[in-house]
Amino acid sequence: MLLKLLYNRGSLHNLPEGKGVAFSIKNRLDTVRLTGLQRVKLGEVVVPASHIQLDLGGGEVRAGASVAADGQAIELPVGRTITFVLDTPPLAEGMHQLQAQFSTDAFGELSVEVEDAIVSHDGRVRIPRSDEDDYAEAAIQARQRFAEQFTQQEYTHLKHYSFDPHALKGNCEHFMGVAQVPVGLAGPLHVNGEHAQGEFLIPMATTEGTLVASYNRGMQVLNLCGGVKCTVIGDAMQRAPVFVFDDARGARDFGRWVAESLEQIRPEAESTSRVAKLQYIDTYLSNKFAYLRFNFSTGDAAGQNMVGRATFAACSWILEHYKGAPIRHFYLESNFATDKKASQINVMRTRGKRVVAEAVIRRDVLQQRMRVTPEQLAYHGQVSNVGAFLSGANNNGAHSANGITALFIATGQDVANVSESSAGVLYSEVTKEGDLYINITIPSLIVATHGGGTGLATQNECLRMLGCVGQGTVYKFAEIVAGVVLAGELSLGAAISSSDWVSSHEQYGRNR
């Protein structure tokens, strides 16, 4: 089951001018050394190692027969791809059985058996790319010309950028230009966190009128009342594989075995990263399926890819060592981690950072600056809770996604994670002194200060503006985001309560 995952499905193809057949494998399991290549079999045709070349990328090619354990092994770290080039006649269109036999130091002799197809090129127009350097100026200009010719349009602003495109490797494919999103400044916001302490100027990337102004208004009110208190109370990133059995008892017994084997599974998962740490595994049983929810801490990275690799290593060990009822199918992700989707399990169990922002807003400040009383705002919150309940929303606040999205775009976060991160639990009450206590819990805030888009040019500058560059800054960033969200909830909630909402948009938010 796992060996089939080595093969890059769809990679089988005939080389130009009848120069052979090629396919590729990618190491998705564990770091190994390729110590020998025996043969490849295409249907009934056997291709010996002497008729195989191994393209390792970067211009490095090895003869298949030269691979040996005694100093001639090939390092095969996780993620590396090797293309097998076979000196054999071209294959006909259609499906073909393929078997590759080779040896590794960690797993001994392996045999990968798959089925793949040879398909004809249909003559469709394709976006230009360069196999040598797809981020070189020539490749980028070729795509720019292609886009203009294909659409019969001229692009002036898309084509202008101020950074080295090579920095985009791993972030954007087929690069041809940039989308310039306006960045407005809000704040400074005074944050009283355990990791974020002091005043922070907030960069917000948005095209929505009144958004920056609204958040700025909320920050001013928070500052007048001593700032916003922020606390990170949870941290976990998930991958949720599923194991399929013949019946429910097989799944139940497997779940018990996983719980008993946690201390053996943990080092297997953590062997893939110096950062990822396996905290615990939740088991959920349904029908004849065992869903395992692996929970990791991931340092300053958001960690979805990191935990995917770690969970795969753990599952490889599980598949090898479980001796109970046969596992009929295994999938690394079952949709139970709910990546890029809002879900109740993430609200209850945490995905990313679980962070709380809270403040006490003095009655006089609220009335003078927001034109509402604490009683009005607290009662409005009760009424809107009913509306959120009836609608089935994942949020009983006003617009947490606005502030989160604006910060995510500015700082290079994975913007699709707004779907989970926008979940919020808002609470308010009138204190015995007659002031307003307001609090929001963000149970699944997925943020990073390392990796992903955080190192790109303007995104890194915005993180530097917040003082969130360098090791150990992700909790600081999470606290700042939570504080910004609370400022927005306070501002928009008061605007709706005082009937200023429409008039503000009329004044600031319409592009006539």
Q: Which residues are part of the catalytic machinery?
A: 208, 414, 505
Which residues 6+ apart lie within 8 Å of 170 measured at CB? none
φ, ψ of residue 160 to 5 degrees: the values are -105, 125
Beta-ladder partners of 445: 353
Burial class (CB in 10 A: 0-12, 13-18, 19+), 196: buried
Q: Strands (DSSP E) along 166-253, which ranges?
A: 183-193, 197-205, 228-239, 242-244
Q: Strands (DSSP E) along 44-136, which ranges?
A: 45-48, 52-57, 60-63, 74-76, 81-86, 94-104, 108-118
Q: What is the DSSP string of 449-481?
A: SSSTTTTSHHHHHHHHHTT--STT-HHHHHHHH
Phi-psi region of 189 (alpha: psi -120 to 50; beta: other; left: phi over 0): beta
Task: Judge whether 246 and 288 are in contact, CB under 8 Å.
Answer: yes
Residue 217 DSSP SS3: helix
Q: Are strands 183-193 and 436-445 parallel, antiparallel or unpaired?
A: unpaired
Tally Cβ neighbours within 10 Å of residue 297.
14
Any idea what DSSP says for residue 165?
A: G
CA 230 to chain centre: 24
Rg (CA), the chain: 28
Rounded Cα distance between 324 and 318, Å, is 11
Which residues 6+ apart lie within 8 Å of 506 measured at CB? none
Which residue is it, tokens 């043969």?
39
Which residues 6+ apart lie within 8 Å of 281 measured at CB? 258, 259, 262, 265, 292, 293, 294, 295
Task: Judge whether 239 and 338 are in contact, CB under 8 Å.
Answer: no
**What are the distances in angstroms from CA 352 to CA 10, 32, 85, 160, 346?**
34, 31, 43, 35, 9
Which residues 6+ apart lie within 8 Å of 175 measured at CB? 134, 135, 140, 143, 165, 168
